[in-house]
């Protein structure tokens, strides 16, 4: 798509997996534009979780364009993902009553442990379905799902890849790409972060530093449940993409943590 809006804005694609991201230019101005993003973006902008929303427009194709301020910056490195700033911003998201209210208003859905397990089994290849370790872990997770009142569910991002974190040149940190946002146990997000970016040997220290007051046995049980569930989902995803080295690395990681019977 390459088009002009009536007031002179020219929109050009800038790549990405979805094909929905563009750069908008008008004289010396520059904006980041997305097509058909969630109306939840307005609340995220208001809470300064994402870059400032400048305008929203409906165009003749029936699509909706949203324009945000263009910020020069970079994605976080894998090493930076385990830092305190990431945890602090994620905690702001999880604790925001405004975000929860707005996500519900725009049709956000609750995601429960059984939904995540169903997603894992949906379309699962026979080779993974019959894999002894994966089969055993999945059965254990099914029989011992975490009990956490859905009234305490919070807004969760659901895709905490380091490329979805923007550190601006002015040293402001933002979390972008909210298409996977749901209402869920906030530990779902935290476990995703820990599994992907914190070395296994550092888990205990990382949890103690960031969540000392919450580090009850129940919290640890929920964390390990979601860690293993996230690894199952990652293994499935890597298998589907043909990334077998990464898949086997996740299987080894799962084998390691699944030995810790005290958490399940």
Which ranges constitute the DSSP H helices of 13-76?
41-46
Which ranges constitute the DSSP H helices of the chain?
41-46, 84-95, 97-105, 113-121, 126-129, 132-143, 187-197, 203-211, 217-241, 244-257
Integer angstrom CA distances of residue 216 from 38, 87, 184: 36, 18, 19
Task: Assess contact for 31 and 37: CB atoms under 8 A.
Answer: no
Q: Among residues 6, 63, 159, 177, which one is catalytic? A: 159
159 tagged catalytic? yes
Half-sphere exposure of 19 (CA within 13 A, CB side): 2
User: Any idea which residues carry the catalytic annotation?
Assistant: 159
């Amino acid at each position: 798509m390459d088009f002009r809006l009536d007031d002179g804005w020219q929109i050009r694609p800038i790549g990405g997996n979805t094909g929905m991201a563009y750069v908008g230019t008008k004289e010396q101005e520059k904006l980041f534009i997305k097509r058909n993003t969630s109306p939840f973006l307005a609340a995220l902008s208001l809470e300064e979780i994402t870059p400032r929303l400048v305008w929203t427009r409906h165009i003749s194709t029936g699509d909706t364009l949203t324009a945000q301020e263009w910020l020069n910056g970079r994605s976080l490195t894998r090493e930076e993902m385990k830092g305190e700033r990431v945890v602090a911003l994620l905690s702001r998201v999880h604790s925001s009553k405004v975000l929860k209210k707005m996500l519900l208003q725009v049709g956000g859905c609750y995601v429960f442990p059984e939904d995540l397990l169903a997603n894992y089994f949906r379309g699962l290849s026979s080779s993974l379905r019959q894999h002894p370790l994966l089969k055993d872990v999945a059965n254990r997770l099914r029989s011992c799902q975490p009990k956490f009142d859905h009234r305490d569910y919070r807004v969760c991002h659901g895709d905490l890849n380091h490329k979805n974190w923007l550190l601006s040149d002015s040293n402001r940190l933002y979390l972008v790409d909210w298409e996977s946002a749901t209402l869920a146990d906030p530990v779902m997000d935290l476990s995703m972060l820990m599994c992907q970016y914190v070395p296994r040997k550092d888990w205990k220290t990382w949890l103690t530093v960031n969540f000392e007051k919450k580090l009850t046995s129940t919290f640890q049980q929920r964390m390990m449940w979601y860690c293993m569930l996230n690894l199952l989902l990652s293994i499935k995803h890597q298998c589907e993409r043909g990334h077998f080295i990464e898949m086997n690395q996740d299987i080894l990681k799962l084998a390691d943590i699944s030995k810790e019977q005290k958490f399940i």
